[in-house]
């Protein structure tokens, strides 16, 4: 078990890519996922090969976690969460239960069973909320505007407290918008489906001027693995946070134009729903300062057009009849 990592949410978009990367590095992986917004398709071959032990359980179930985690694991990559900012506005208690209570259960398991390391998937945009300074540094006060963002902020406070009180080593990675093959939600996925249904027009939520950083999945996973190695090194104790994103932002209209061009569509009419936000709780502008994680030797390698092309072609392959 000394070469085993726990990955919660390991069947999800980022989690499945991370799980595969860990196996490729020679680790065994225990994946805990309730499959509420995912499937085992992305890691089924790894389960069949015996490199991954899969447990269809919920991080809110403390008893199940105690039976799965024996304390000999290296640490945890904690990605399990309610993934929808929009739905958190409609169901704030459910968002709290999944994101905060589930994380507390894992922290208690770590405390009780002597597991020292965790890398937590946080959120850059929803955590900081509406800010005035870009790019936004990790020292910026947290002012979330959605229950989802509030849940991530609450978890970070507990991560800091547990790291200090129980001598745990924890990193919170504050993600920008992650995209790429395997993603089944988000603005790019939404645009693709709309254009496949009707290539003559595209409805865009908000005014199209929302500007954010979009990070390709391969770059994201490389950063997660780097931080997992970094936190194990002597001296990197306690709680740390790193922004993870790109050095430039892209507007929603820019995304639409790039997608239309890649799909080689002509005369597509863009229809905007209006307003600065796409929905309640949407952070309209988000660009993270990534100086701190670049100092560890990481930098984003995939440009937005290259990444979108890879993503769109993966969607086309998936939707093509065999």
pLDDT digits (tens, 9 = 90+) for 115-157: 999 999 999 999 999 999 999 999 999 999 999 999 999 999 9
Q: What integer is the mean pLDDT of 36-48? A: 96
Average pLDDT of the chain, as a whole number: 96
Q: In the sheet where 285-286 sits, what is the strand order? A: 250-251, 211-212, 285-286
Asked if residue 133 and residue 235 are part of one domain, the reply reads yes
pLDDT at position 208 is 97
**Domain tally for the chain?**
2
pLDDT tens figures, 239-284: 999 999 999 999 999 999 999 999 999 999 999 999 999 989 999 9
Identify the CA nearest to 114 among candidates 158, 67, 74: 74
pLDDT at position 320 is 61
Asked if residue 266 and residue 119 are part of one domain, the reply reads no
Block residue for tokens 């030797």: 297
Contacts of 15 (CB under 8 A, 6+ apart): 7, 8, 9, 31, 33, 38, 77, 79, 80
Asked if residue 306 and residue 232 are part of one domain, the reply reads no
Asked if residue 107 and residue 235 are part of one domain, the reply reads yes
Is residue 169 included in any domain, yes or no? yes
Identify the CA nearest to 120 among candidates 155, 82, 171, 167: 171
Is residue 296 included in any domain, yes or no? no
- Are 176 and 244 contacting, i.e. CB atoms less than 8 angstroms apart? yes
Distance CA 253, CA 188 (A): 11
- How far apart, in Å, are the Cα atoms of 39 and each of 24, 33, 267? 21, 9, 37
Asked if residue 149 and residue 268 are part of one domain, the reply reads no
Would you say residue 319 has pLDDT above 80?
Answer: no
Which percentage of the chain shows pLDDT scores above 70? 98
Is residue 22 included in any domain, yes or no? yes
Please give the full DSSP string across 157-222, using - where no structure is assigned. HHHHHHHHHHT-EEEEEEE-EEESTT--SSHHHHHHHHHHH-TTEEEESTTS--EE-EEEHHHHHH
Identify the CA nearest to 148 among candidates 217, 220, 211, 81: 81
Q: Is the peptide bond before 48 cis (omega within 30 degrees of 0)?
A: no
Asked if residue 198 and residue 102 are part of one domain, the reply reads no
Name the catalytic one among 148, 162, 179, 214: 148
Asked if residue 26 and residue 148 are part of one domain, the reply reads yes
> Worst-scoring range by mean pLDDT, 80-84, 90-94, 180-184?
80-84
- Are 307 and 179 contacting, i.e. CB atoms less than 8 angstroms apart? yes
Identify the CA nearest to 246 among candidates 227, 220, 285: 220
Asked if residue 205 and residue 129 are part of one domain, the reply reads no
pLDDT tens figures, 182-232: 999 899 999 999 999 999 999 999 999 999 999 999 999 999 999 999 999
pLDDT at position 83 is 82
Which percentage of the chain shows pLDDT scores above 90? 94
Asked if residue 123 and residue 105 are part of one domain, the reply reads yes
- How far apart, in Å, are the Cα atoms of 299 and each of 123, 133, 220, 225, 289? 18, 21, 10, 13, 12
Distance CA 188, CA 225 (A): 25
Q: Would you say the pTM of this structure is higher than 0.85?
A: yes
CATH of the domain at 208: 3.90.25.10
Q: 257: domain range?
A: 184-212+249-285+302-313
Q: Is 148 a catalytic residue?
A: yes
């Amino acid at each position: 078990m000394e070469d085993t990592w726990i990955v919660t949410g390991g069947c999800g978009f980022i989690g499945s890519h991370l799980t595969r990367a860990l196996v490729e590095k020679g680790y065994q992986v225990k994946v805990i996922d309730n499959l509420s917004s995912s499937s085992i398709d992305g890691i089924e071959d790894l389960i069949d090969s015996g490199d991954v032990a899969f447990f269809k359980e919920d991080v809110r179930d403390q008893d199940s976690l105690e039976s799965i985690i024996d304390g000999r694991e290296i640490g945890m990559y904690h990605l399990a969460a309610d993934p929808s900012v929009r739905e958190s506005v409609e169901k704030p208690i459910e968002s709290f239960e999944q994101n905060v209570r589930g994380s507390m259960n894992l922290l208690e398991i770590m405390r009780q069973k002597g597991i020292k390391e965790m890398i937590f998937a946080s959120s850059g945009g929803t955590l900081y909320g509406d800010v005035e300074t870009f790019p936004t540094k990790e020292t910026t006060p947290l002012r979330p505007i959605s229950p989802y963002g509030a849940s991530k902020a609450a978890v970070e406070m507990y991560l800091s407290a547990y790291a200090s009180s129980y001598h745990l080593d924890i990193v919170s990675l504050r993600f920008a918008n992650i995209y790429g093959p395997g993603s089944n939600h988000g603005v790019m996925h939404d645009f693709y489906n709309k254009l496949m249904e009707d290539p003559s027009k595209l409805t865009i939520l908000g005014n199209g001027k929302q500007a954010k950083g979009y990070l390709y999945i391969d770059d994201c996973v490389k950063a997660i693995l780097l931080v997992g190695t970094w936190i194990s090194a002597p001296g990197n104790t306690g709680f740390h946070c790193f922004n993870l994103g790109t050095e430039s932002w892209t507007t929603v209209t820019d995304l639409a134009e790039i997608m239309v061009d890649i799909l080689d569509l002509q005369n597509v009419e863009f229809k905007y729903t209006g307003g600065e936000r796409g929905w309640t709780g949407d952070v309209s502008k988000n660009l993270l300062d990534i100086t701190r994680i670049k100092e560890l030797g990481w930098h984003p390698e995939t440009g937005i057009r290259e990444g979108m092309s890879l993503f769109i072609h993966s969607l086309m392959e998936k939707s093509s009849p065999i």
